[in-house]
Amino acid sequence: MLIADKVADWGIRIGGLSVIVAVFGIMVFLMQVVVPLFTGGRVLGQQSFRIAGPADTLVAGGLDETHVVAYTIGRDGEVGLYHVASGRRLAVPPLDLGGKRVTAFGRSIVGGEIALGFADGTVRFGKVTLSAEIVPGEALPAGLQSLGSDRTDGSAVFTPIAGEQFRKTAIAIRLDAEQRVVEGRSIVALDYRSGGTVERPVRTFATVDDAGVPRLSLAETRVNMLTRQARTTVSTAELPALPAGTRVARAMVSEKGDQVFVVDRGGIVFRYDTRDAKDTKLAETRDLLVGNASVGSFDFLIGEQSIVVTGSDGSVAVYFRLPQPGAATTDGFRLVLAHDLKPQTAPIEAFAPSERGKMFVTADAGGGVTLRHSTSEQVLLSLTQAGGVAKLAALAPREDAIMVIGADGLATVWHVAAPHPETTWASIFGKVWYEGYEAPAFTWQSSSGTDSFEPKLSLVPLIFGTLKATLYALLFAVPIALLAAIYTSEFVTPKVRGTVKPVMEMMASLPSVVLGFIAALVLAPLVETFISSVLLAFVTLPLSLLAGAYLWQLLPRDLSLRLGGGVKLALAFVALAAGLLIAAYAGPAFERAFFAGDVKAWANGDVGSGGPFTFLLLLPLTYVAVSIVSERLLGDWLGIERAQPGLRTGLTDAARWTATLAVAAAVAALVATLLTAVGLDARGGMVSTYVQRNTLVVGFAMGFAVIPIIYTIAEDALNSVPEHLRGASLACGATPWQTATRVILPTAMSGVFAAIMVGMGRAVGETMIVVMAAGNTPIMEWNVFSGLRALSANIAVELPEAVKDGTLYRTLFLAALTLFVMTFVVNTLAEVVRQRFRKRSAQL
Amino acid sequence: MSATIEPLTTRSDAPTYTRSRVTALGALGEPFQWLLAGSLALGMTMIVGFLLLVLWNGVGALWPKPIHLVTFADGTRIAGEPTRVEEFRVGPERLASLDEATRRRIQVDAGYAWRTLYRTGNFDFYNDDFRWAADFEVAKVEAPVDFYFVERLEWGSFVGRIAVVEVAGERLAIDDPRAVAAHREALRRLGAIRSLEHGAIGHVNARIERERLGLRRVAIRESEASPAYAEAKALAEARIAELRAEYQRLADEVQRLKTEDQRYKVTLVEIGGKDKTLRLSEIVRFYPANGVGWLERIGIYLSRWGEFLADAPREANTEGGVWPAIFGTFAMTLLMVIVVAPFGVVTALYLREYAKQGRMVAIVRISVNNLAGVPSIVYGVFGLGFFAYTFGASIDQLFFPERLPSPTFGTGGLLWSSLTLALLTVPVVIVATEEALAAVPRSMREGSLACGASKWQTIKYIVLPRALPGIMTGLILAMARGAGEVAPLMLVGVVKLAPELPIDGVFPYLHLERSFMHLGFHIYDVGFQSRNSEAGKPMVFVTTLLLIAMIAGMNATAIVIRNRLKRRFAGSQF
């Protein structure tokens, strides 16, 4: 063997196989990108240290951005700052509380704003800042002690980062002067939000004193423009008192100060409507816990639309405040259980929300620590800590570390990664109850202008859009393509076929971007202006063709035989033109008669009744029914079916057809009247509000892409039916029509089916036409006059903007995988059927 | 249909007129046949109508149109090119504002009326390029001879009078031959400025950038403290200083030309009386729309085509030419063919000549067929995720660390687009090649082998040459498919405006990592993303025509080759 042979042998084998491997690698690669969406969270490392002093008296704690340090604040103002990796306590001066002990504590989710309440009825605001600044290596202070890879000067931590630089992490706590809320009463519950501008900060805080009086206060600081001195004024509104015997567990205020919640230990929530500070109302009283469980925590998640309620029974539930018609509350809103999350086995003691998303941590008395996501309802991580009853939990700002401090003072820090908490199979393919929605829904909305926006990534509306576009495109394309294929294969001479087929195939080579452009910028405005004519054409085109047929029947048989299929095709063009002309001219009259003079207003449901349209929908059905009856009865009786073609028979048949049409119309009108009387109206379902770039236009444009494919494959299938079958049928006296419908079509059926499947595959994956002509609104309605957003279009529009390896990026890969699988299934089915057809036709 | 084929005479009640044995009417299925014929006719009407629409709009888009001076019933006047006439439905509010007689006339026409879209230009004055004029509101339409259509570099076209041309301080009328000559000279000067700016200065900038990157490379490899770095730094700084001096010299030259350019000015006056003075070189073309003859019109038409094919786009792609897009499309398609040809042919050879024909090969063949049906956008997603973000990012790490974090191969580009499309079209080539291989008569192969040729020799000297036309057909079909695809390219490297062509005079001449422009994407971009889709429409139609012509040309070539192949086969049978 020659060396060249060996090289070629191996080269070709390896080359061939590698192409096949590459081709299947696509699917594997797509899957590999998608899988992390469903893997929940992982623990990257775990560290623990012991805090100084008792854990029972902690009021707050947290981690910095890079979780190098952790801090705690005690009731006595003691501040602990710990280096997480070594557990070493750093020196931080305690808060100067003037010897008082904190009796109530409130904090904001983001920004480190804190408020402390005291037994003498005063409150103090403050802010905890964990600062991070970059220090160049040469500017590092001298005499640093080593903390593993980090260094410290005793109070701050220096962490080496890239470029020979260090990040200095330190804590700074600012505490403002005290404000008096109530005289002679102790504050037992407190919540605090800071808003307004830098020049005019507005602080909203809600307090409850030991007599059970809730208050809402507003502290406004104004800077005098001349003296540059800040003056703070506090205005306090007393809210309707709580019932006697309420053991207040928690007070909570919304950022705008329009809602105050006070929670009793037994789980009863008192919701105050404070939109009008002069007229505050107790809007709603609800018991959110089952039985005699007590409240573990009651907190907002970021965005303040979700309220997480945990209980001593281990339950974790998320409530939304939603407007409800007929709600027994003064403001029409009601707390609604939106997500009932997986319970924990022990009473829940600590809770920590995320600063950037809908994740939160719950820690229970049995050492169970759970990282959850509210919207997707999934448990991302289940951890166990050894420090006994959890006293405090914290989630790092970047959601990449959890700290839990147990009763015995053991603090455990887990470094975690949960990059895609919002996605589960259920959240992508099922209904999800998002904040601000009145019920669970399928929603796709990947981005928005606001910060607290939560991406809504359900693929269902997109899959629906793809299916809708495919369905309407096929409704339009399949009949045309199949009928045209049958005609080309069975009724015209090979010469005509030789010109017709390449013309139709030329359609397949039109780039879809061109189709999309013409559809969106030429066709869509045209269809919008002449919508009534377009709708009328669906009626006039078949009718004018049928009229042509009955006129043709008047010709003497020998003449019509001599003229043959080509001339008939030419005349069909004439009939088509006539039908279009009639539609164009009769459009306005049709619009007046059927759509109260304005199709768009009619479709919107503003004018007219649904009856005439129901009549149009019923007309084809009744026509088929009536014509079957009339052929069976009238045809037999008149003998037309068996009569020799000619003028007289033709006339009789034409008369019969006219009668059939009239009767069909009458029946359709009758049924439509009945259905309308019952209240059936096509509007709101198949037809509704009209938009310019709609499914009708998409279906038509997609027809250009799909018709040639179905046509070619179906024509090939019909044509490959063995000639002897055709010959035998014709020789037995069957007409070409009988041969086509009873011999050729049944034999080629599987090939024709395969053609439809391949066409469907093309429609499913078509991108540019839907991007340009479909309006890209991810809505779920079958309305033919509205737009849609298909999987393919969505990928094309959003993927260039998606951050690599982000949730949106991976979800779009999932969309691609879905498309891949959809078309693969459809095409494989078509291929298997086609191969069976080939085998069968080879046997014939 | 109750037509049965039983003998007609068996029925006792058969009517008398069925004596002769002619086919019965019901058996002909005439109405059904007409529906079939109608469908075929509809399909053909669709494609022919579509092509005619594109052809008409594409061919006519660049034709110089007359300028109409339209006086409305309320006295306002506009001047512009009539672009399009259409029937429209008069809205109820509009209808209510009209006088009785007009309203009645519209109502007689079922609420429809005709209107004309005028391209009024002068975007800088009115923030709008177009104006609709309904027939019922127009009082008078004139065709003034002194109105010029002026195509400008900025702000789109201008319609109005040309007041004065200022040539080096001298004020001339526009019909003065010296003014026309000055315009020609100004355009030549602008060309010189451009070629200096993009050519020589661009080249110098590229070299400065290369020095800078080279230095960073040393810094990354050897660390900044090393002696090698100090040496490289000194060398680079010396070279950069040299290049800076060169740059300064070129910049001075450009400045000199620009100062000269300032001395040639033209003042335009639009119909509302507002005027604007601009440099003569800012005018691309001007002609008195109503005062030019047929020959001149043809001249303008051809010069516009020349500009369209050879120039870069301007005004957010809505004017100028599409040369970068043509170039990009060709470069990408060519590169794709270079990649897809060996792989497709090798795979087909493997499937047809080497692999054992069994269940495995059948499955593989179904899969290959299937892959031809996988949506193109899925390939785009794969191309972005694998080629650009995974493979390209690794290349950047290894070979271009000095450019990070800005990606070189780690983002979309020409190479990744070509590879993505190669993957997309490989099934087309495999199927076509397999068919071509299968068509080579077995006898020839056996003859070759019997003569002692090895398998590879047989393939190389007997099979491949015979299959070549078939393979070529497959490749051309793949090119046609590839050239028309847009969706995957949107993800892997096509941009609306690429500053540089992927091939130029700067080392290494072929820049595979650059993003590029594409005719198909140009259509999408101008039709959908531009400020005024109406202004871009003529461009889109011409681009569409070009793209369709390109693809049709490729398909036609494929058909010609296929036919020649058939003839050759007919001769080679023995």
What pLDDT does residue A310 have?
A: 92
What angle is formed at CA A452 by the lines to CA A421 and CA A167, rounded to 5 degrees?
Answer: 75
Torsion of CA B167, B173, B175, B176, to 10 degrees: -50
Residue B335 in domain: yes
- DSSP state letter for B76: -
Q: Give the pLDDT confidence of B62-75 residue by residue, as tens digits.
A: 899 999 999 998 88
Q: Measured between beta carbons, which residues in chain B are less than 8 angstroms from residue A572? A: 34, 37-38, 40-41
Cα separation of A272 and A285, whole Å?
9
Tell me whether residues B487 and A823 touch, CB distance under 8 A. no
Same domain flag for B123 and B242: no
Would you place residue B541 in the very low, low, confident or very high pLDDT band (cuts 50, 70, 90)? Answer: very high
What is the pLDDT averaged over residues A249-256? 88
What pLDDT does residue A452 have?
A: 65
Chain A and chain B share a number of CB contacts under 8 A equal to 368
Contacts of B92 (CB under 8 A, 6+ apart): none
Contact predicate B519/A514, CB 8 Å = no
Same domain flag for B109 and B191: no
* All structural domains of chain A: 49-418 (2.130.10.10), 462-529+681-843 (1.10.3720.10)
Which of B28, B349, B551 shows the shortest C-beta gap to A645?
A: B28
Chain A interface includes B360 (CB < 8 A): no
Residue in B30, B109, B216, B366 to test binding to A, most A beta-carbons within 10 Å: B30
Would you place residue B6 in the very low, low, confident or very high pLDDT band (cuts 50, 70, 90)? Answer: very low
Q: Is A565 a residue whose pLDDT tops 80?
A: no
List beta partners, residue B114. Answer: B87
Chain B interface includes A726 (CB < 8 A): no
**Residue reference for tokens 């009078």:** B161
Residue in A513, A574, A704 to test binding to B, most B beta-carbons within 10 Å: A513
Chain B interface includes A551 (CB < 8 A): no
Same domain flag for B368 and B422: yes
Chain B interface includes A510 (CB < 8 A): yes
Residue in B22, B33, B449 to test binding to A, most A beta-carbons within 10 Å: B33
Residue B241 in domain: yes
List beta partners, residue A195. Answer: A202
What is the pLDDT averaged over residues B254-262? 89
Residue B154 in domain: yes
**How many helices and strands (H and E) does chain A possess?**
19, 34
Q: Is B4 a residue whose pLDDT tops 70?
A: no
CATH of the domain at B525: 1.10.3720.10
Contact predicate B236/B211, CB 8 Å = yes
Same domain flag for B358 and B446: yes
**Residue reference for tokens 């081709």:** A23
Q: Give the pLDDT confidence of A67-115 residue by residue, as tens digits.
A: 899 999 998 888 999 998 888 888 888 888 888 889 999 888 888 888 9
Q: Is B3 a residue whose pLDDT tops 60?
A: no
Bridge-based pairing of strands A333-341 and A348-353 is unpaired
Residue B1 in domain: no
Closest CA to B165 of B156, B154, B178: B178
**How many helices and strands (H and E) does chain B possess?**
20, 13
Q: Give the pLDDT confidence of A702-755 residue by residue, as tens digits.
A: 989 999 999 998 998 898 888 888 999 999 988 888 999 989 998 888 889 888
Tell me whether residues B375 and A767 touch, CB distance under 8 A. yes
Q: Is A800 a residue whose pLDDT tops 80?
A: yes
Same domain flag for B245 and B386: no
Cβ count near A807 (within 10 Å)? 19
Distance from CA of B374 to the nearest CA of A (A): 6
Q: Is A308 a residue whose pLDDT tops 90?
A: yes
Q: Give the pLDDT confidence of A589-632 residue by residue, as tens digits.
A: 898 888 888 888 888 888 878 888 888 889 999 999 988 887 77
DSSP element (H, E) containing A282: strand A281-287
Distance from CA of A423 to the nearest CA of B (A): 20
pTM of the model: 0.89
What pLDDT does residue A678 have?
A: 84
Chain A interface includes B391 (CB < 8 A): no
Residue B234 in domain: yes
Which of B376, B423, B454 shows the shortest C-beta gap to A1?
A: B454
What pLDDT does residue B566 have?
A: 65
List beta partners, residue A145. Answer: A152
Closest CA to B519 of B270, B273, B323: B323
DSSP E strand boundaries for A613-736? none
What is the pLDDT averaged over residues A563-585? 89
Contact predicate B379/B488, CB 8 Å = yes
The percentage of chain A sitting over the pLDDT mark of 70, rounded to a whole number, equals 97
What pLDDT does residue B511 have?
A: 82
Q: Is A219 a residue whose pLDDT tops 50?
A: yes
Chain A interface includes B15 (CB < 8 A): yes
Interface of B with A in 299-358 (CB under 8 A): 342-344, 346-347, 349-351, 353-355
SS3 B272: coil
Lowest mean pLDDT among B100-104, B305-309, B380-384: B100-104
**End residue of a domain, out of B159, B185, B216:** B159
Which of B1, B29, B375 shows the shortest C-beta gap to A765?
A: B375
Same domain flag for B510 and B399: yes
Residue B81 in domain: yes
What pLDDT does residue A486 have?
A: 94
Same domain flag for B150 and B189: no
Q: Give the number of domains in chain B.
A: 3
Closest CA to A511 of A772, A811, A142: A772
SS3 B131: strand
Chain A interface includes B570 (CB < 8 A): no
Contact predicate A773/A693, CB 8 Å = yes
| DSSP of A102-169 | EEEEEE-SSS-EEEEEETTSEEEEEEEEEEEEEEEGGGPPSSPEEETTEEESSSSEEEEETTTEEEEE
Q: Give the pLDDT confidence of A642-653 residue by residue, as tens digits.
A: 667 777 788 888
Which residue type does A751 have?
Answer: G
Cα separation of A265 and A599, whole Å?
61
**End residue of a domain, out of B159, B192, B219:** B159
Contacts of A254 (CB under 8 A, 6+ apart): A193, A260, A300, A304
Cα separation of A369 and A756, whole Å?
55
What pLDDT does residue B337 have?
A: 92
Residue B6 in domain: no
Q: Which two three-digit tokens encode residue B559?
A: 């058909």
Which of B382, B456, B523 shows the shortest C-beta gap to A26?
A: B382
**Residue reference for tokens 């500070």:** A277
Cα separation of A600 and A52, whole Å?
74
Q: Is B10 a residue whose pLDDT tops 50?
A: no
Interface of A with B in 295-334 (CB under 8 A): none
What pLDDT does residue B1 have?
A: 39
What pLDDT does residue B22 have?
A: 52
Which domain does B552 fall in, by range?
323-572
List beta partners, residue B170. Answer: B167
Cα separation of B334 and B364, whole Å?
28
Contact predicate B303/B285, CB 8 Å = yes
Closest CA to B506 of B224, B198, B265: B198
- DSSP state letter for B510: B
Same domain flag for B327 and B455: yes
What pLDDT does residue B2 have?
A: 43
Q: Give the pLDDT confidence of B155-166 residue by residue, as tens digits.
A: 888 898 888 888
Cα separation of A257 and A241, whole Å?
18
Cα separation of B244 and A710, whole Å?
64
Count Cα neighbours of B555 within 13 Å in the Cβ-side half-sphere: 20
Query: Residue A239: exposed, middle, or buried by beta-carbon count in 10 A (0-12, 13-18, 19+)?
Result: buried
Interface of A with B in 564-623 (CB under 8 A): 565, 568-569, 571-573, 575-576, 587-589, 592
Same domain flag for B257 and B327: no
Residue A753's φ and ψ, nearest 5 degrees, are -60, -45
Same domain flag for B142 and B228: no
Tell me whether residues B26 and A9 touch, CB distance under 8 A. no
Would you place residue B16 in the very low, low, confident or very high pLDDT band (cuts 50, 70, 90)? Answer: very low
Q: Is B19 a residue whose pLDDT tops 50?
A: no
Residue B472 in domain: yes
Q: Which two three-digit tokens encode residue B119?
A: 């391209």
Which residue type does A112 have?
Answer: G
Tell me whether residues B38 and A541 touch, CB distance under 8 A. yes
Q: Which two three-digit tokens encode residue A44?
A: 């990257």
Contacts of B55 (CB under 8 A, 6+ apart): B545
Which of B32, B350, B523 shows the shortest C-beta gap to A15?
A: B350
SS3 A390: strand
Tell me whether residues A513 and B523 touch, CB distance under 8 A. yes
SS3 A598: coil
Contact predicate A831/B369, CB 8 Å = yes
What is the pLDDT averaged over residues B410-425? 89
Cα separation of B488 and A767, whole Å?
9
Nearest residue in chain A measured CA to CA from B543:
A514
Which of A643, A711, A800 shows the shortest C-beta gap to B491?
A: A800
Cα separation of B530 and B527, whole Å?
7
Cα separation of A721 and A726, whole Å?
8
Q: Measured between beta carbons, which residues in chain A are less than 8 angstroms from residue B31? A: 546, 549-550, 657
Q: Is A10 a residue whose pLDDT tops 90?
A: no
Same domain flag for B354 and B217: no
What pLDDT does residue B23 have?
A: 61
Same domain flag for B415 and B375: yes
What angle is formed at CA A311 by the lines to CA A308 and CA A315, rounded to 5 degrees?
Answer: 75
Cα separation of B413 and B489, whole Å?
9
Which of A16, A576, A711 shows the shortest C-beta gap to B41?
A: A576
Lowest mean pLDDT among A319-323, A368-372, A627-631, B388-392: A627-631
